Structures are given as C-alpha cells and as structure tokens.
Amino acid sequence: MDGSEGGDQTSEYVTPPTCELLDLLLKNRRRSDSFNEVWPNIIISDARTAKDLKLLKDLGVTHIVNAADGPSHIHTGADFYTHSHTHIQYHGVEAPDSRDFNIAHFFDSTAHFIHTAVTQQSGKVLVHCARGISRSATLVLAYLMIFEGLTLSEAIVAVRSHRSILPNAGFLQQLRELDTQLTQQRQHSSAHSDPSLPQ
C-alpha cells in the first residue's frame, strides 16, 4: 500500500487476506520487552507492568485499559489504582483470549477511552492483557484504525515496529471486518465530498 495517490488509495484499497496480515505479524519477530510505547503516548504491556505502581508513575501513565479484566483473569479494577492514590483512570474489558470471543463489541468504547487519554494534556494510556500480545494489541490496532485513520495493515506495521504482537485468529478476523467497514465509510464520504463525481 503505497499512499502516493492519496484519494486513489482510499478508493482502491481492499482489506488484505488473513495470510498477508499474518506475514506482517510474523516476519522478523523478536522477543518484546514487558512494555513498549507503540504510538505516541500509547503503551502496550503485560500484566506485571500494569500492577507496578511505581513504574506506572515513572512512565507518566494516566489511563489504564485492562483487556483481561474480571475475576477469572487479571482482577485489578479501578479500585486497585484509586486505593493506591495514583489517580489513574481505568477501563476494563472482560475478554478471554479466545478466537470465539466477540472483542469487536468493545472496539468503539475502548477507542474512545484511549482517544480521551491521548488528547488530554500529559495524557498517556497503558493497554495491557496477560502478555501484551493478543487482546491488548487488538484493541490498540482498532483504535489506530478508528481514530488515526490507518488501515489494518498500516496499524500492524506501526505497532510491529515497536513490539511483536499476534492477535488470535478470531480477533484478526474481527479487525479485518472493522477495516472493511471503515474503508467503505471513507469511500462513501470521499465520493460525497468530491464535486467531480456524480452525486
């Protein structure tokens, strides 16, 4: 996808097949750190990082997305941070790392939470699950597509330049469906805003 022809790219772009996306996700994989800033003021991390209150303070984290929330997963919750007087805002997504789980249900609400974090002064959001590979990465990719206007391929390349990630097969398919929906919306809006095209 070279974006040399701005508007043409939008009209011609088609969501890549899963095999191509897996190539992007799997090539040159290396062991990730416990946390990585994958986009300005957006960090993906494992669970241990999310529980290290001193590290969170040192990193300047103001918002937390727990993509593995709930009693049977990583049960921190908002109280874990408010009781520690860290003033961190919390958003929990109770998602198992299962290909059959509908994580797309949380794309919009989580993307809005992340957007609120990164657009406020000195805001920084940490998005985590157990290992920072599948659930948290899926939600960050969705944010980059919804609010930053990236295609799924572009979002994967952006995040992969900082961290190795691998959404499970079901999550990857849901991201493909989101990519298709957003592409259709962009094509529709560009068609209506281009005076040279018939209305």
Active site residues: 129
CB neighbours of 25 closer than 8 A, spacing ≥ 6? 156, 160, 165, 166, 167
Question: What residues pair up with 90 in beta bridges, in sequence order?
Answer: 64
134 contacts 156 by C-beta, under 8 angstroms: no
Bridge partners of 64?
A: 90, 126
Q: What is the dihedral of CA 68, 73, 77, 79, to 10 degrees?
A: -160
* 91 touches 126 (CB < 8 A): no
**Rounded Cα distance, 164 and 136, in Å:** 12
Asked if 190 and 10 touch (Cβ cutoff 8 Å), the reply is yes
Per DSSP, the three-state class of 39 is: strand
What sign for the dihedral angle of Cα 67, 19, 177, 38?
A: positive
